[in-house]
Amino acid sequence: MIGRLVIALAALQARALAQSCPSLTANYPSPSVADGFDARLIVQDLTKPRGMVFDHEGNLLVVESGKGITAMSLSYGDGSCVSVQEKKTIVSDTSLNHGIELSSDGNTLYASNSDMVFSFDYDAGSMTNTSSGKAIVTGMASDDLVTRTLLIPRSADDKLLVSRGGDDNMDFGTVDLDSGRSQIRIFDLGGDDAVDYLEGEVLGWGLRNSVGVGENPRDGGIWSVENSVDDIERDGESIHADNPAEELNYHGILSDDDDDNAYLGANYGFPLCYAAWDVSEIPGGDGLSVGDQFAIGEENATVNDPFCAQDRQAPRLVFTAHTAPLDIKFDSQGDNAYISFHGSWNSPDPVGYRLSVVPFGPSGQPTAPSTSTTAARPILSNEDLDSCPDDCFRPAGLAWDNAGRLYMTSDSTGEIYVLVRADGAPVDANRESGAGAAVGGRRSAWAVAVVAGAAGVAAWFM
C-alpha cells in the first residue's frame, strides 16, 4: 500500500510540474546544451540585458542597457523551473549600460555608465532603490568600449574594482599609464566625495577591454577576461582571422600589503603586444606557442617578440580570436569558472555565442596549461552559428542565485536563461542555502497545488 502511494504521489507531482512550469519559446533555433546540463528560457522582452546580481532576498537585479536597472522577484519550482513573480524598474537612467554590484551587506547598489560609477541606497526587503544616484568615481568618458565593469571582492569588501576599456580598436594612447584607459583600478569604498578614475590604485593595465572581472573564492584571486583587437596585421600581412587570442588574465590576490601581490600594477601588453592563437598564420612566428605574446612592429624594433615575452605579463589561458568574453563567474568552491562568450562581429566565420566552463584546481589556477586550445568547454551554444549574430542568442552577464542555479543574459534577444544539472540539481550544489530551491523562502503557487493534490491521493488510498 505504501509503495503504491509513493508511486502515485511521484506520478502526480511529475505531471503537475510538467503542466505548471512556465515555458517560453525563443524565436530562433533552440540552444544546444552539453551533456549533464539543462537550460530554460525564463525571461523575455528586456532591453539589452547585461550585468546581473542577486540581492539578499533572492531578487534578481538586471542592467537593461539604455534603460536602467530592473528588479525581479522570482518563483521557484524544481530544477530549472523558475518564473518571474514581479518585475519593476528601480533605477531609471538611460546612460547605464553594463556594470552592477552590491555591497557585502546588500544595502548599497552600484552601477556605471561610460563616465561614472554611482551608488544608491537599496532595500532588498521592498525591492526598491531608496536614494538618488551618488557619483563615486568619475572621469572615464570615451566614445568607444564604454562598459565599466564593477566588482567588490568578497575577500576585500571595502574595495571596488572598476574595469575601463580603451577608446578605439587600437588605442595607442594607452601606452601612457596616465591615460587611464585599458586598465583595472582599485577604489576604497565609504568615502564622502567622488574621486577621479586616475586616483584609483592600478591593479592592471595594458588590458584592451576586460569586460569580465571575477574573484576565485578559493583564494581571493582576481581574474579578468580580455576582448582583444580586430583587423590586426604583422609585417604588412593580415592575421586577424585567427589572431590575436582572447585572454584570461590573472591579477593576484588583493592584500593590505602590496608587496604580497607580484601582479599588482602589471602591464598585460596592449597596445604593443598580443597573445597568439594560430601561430601558423603569424609571419616570423616560428618560435611562438599558443598564448605567447608577440609584437606587431618591425622585427628589429625596440618593441619586438622578446620584449613582449620579457616585459609584459602573459595571459594564463587564451581563447579563440573574436569570441568576445564578457563575464566570468566562479562557483562557490573555486572549482570552475563560467565564461560568457558574446560572439564575433567581424570574423570570417562566426565564433563564440556560447557559455563555457574552465576547470580550476586546488592551487587556485586553471588545470589546463597556458598553451591549451581546449580549456573552455561549451555548455550552452547556438546550434547553427551561420545564423549568428542576427538569429541567435548572445551571452552577456552571469549570476548565481542562493541555491546554485546559474543565470545568463542574452542582450541581443532581450532574454535570460537559467542553467541547472540535467537531473535538476543546481550547477553549484555547494552554494545551496537553507532555503533550498526557494531562495528567500518563496515558492510558486503551483507547488502548493502539488502538495494539495498529493494529500488528495493519500486520502484516496486510505
**pLDDT (tens digit, 9 = 90+) per residue, 164-205?**
999 999 999 999 999 999 999 999 998 889 999 999 999 999
- pLDDT average, residue stretch 394-413: 97
Query: Total structural domains in the chain?
Result: 1
**pLDDT (tens digit, 9 = 90+) per residue, 79-138?**
999 999 999 999 999 999 999 999 999 999 999 999 999 999 999 999 999 999 999 999
**pLDDT (tens digit, 9 = 90+) per residue, 13-38?**
444 444 578 789 999 999 999 999 99
| Cα dihedral 425→428→433→435 (10° resolution) | -30
For residues 339 and 357, the answer to whether their CB atoms sit within 8 Å is yes
Residue 190: the pLDDT is: 87
Tell me if 277 is assigned to some domain: yes
Q: How far apart are CA 298 and CA 308, in angstroms?
A: 13
**pLDDT (tens digit, 9 = 90+) per residue, 288-335?**
999 999 998 765 578 899 999 999 999 999 999 999 999 999 999 999
Tell me if 131 is assigned to some domain: yes
Tell me if 397 is assigned to some domain: yes
Amino acid sitting at position 123: D
- Tell me the whole-structure pTM to 2 decimals: 0.90
Tell me if 74 is assigned to some domain: yes
Q: Is 440 helix (H, G, I), strand (E, B) or coil?
A: helix
Cβ-based neighbours of 256, under 8 Å, separated by 6 or more:
none
Q: Please count the other Cβ atoms lying within 10 Å of the Cβ belonging to residue 76.
A: 25
**pLDDT (tens digit, 9 = 90+) per residue, 363-378?**
999 999 999 999 999 9
Give the largest CA-CA distance in the chain. Answer: 89
Q: How far apart are CA 368 and CA 134, in angstroms?
A: 43
DSSP letter string, 142-207? -SSS--EEEE--TTSTTEEEEEE--SSTT-GGGGSGGG--SEEEEEESS-SS-EEGGGSEEEEES-
**Which range of residues forms the domain containing residue 237?**
24-440
Amino acid sitting at position 120: F
Q: Which residue would you say has higher pLDDT here, 411 or 12?
A: 411
| CA nearest neighbour of 226 among 325, 338, 317, 368 | 325
Tell me if 381 is assigned to some domain: yes
| CA nearest neighbour of 342 among 331, 326, 329 | 326
Q: How far apart are CA 449 and CA 456, in angstroms?
A: 11
Amino acid sitting at position 176: D
The domain that contains 113 carries what CATH number?
2.120.10.30
| CA nearest neighbour of 427 among 31, 18, 30, 33 | 33
Instruction: Retrieve residue 57's grid coordinates.
Output: 532576498
Tell me if 2 is assigned to some domain: no
Tell me if 214 is assigned to some domain: yes
E strand or H helix at 407 = strand 406-410
Tell me if 116 is assigned to some domain: yes
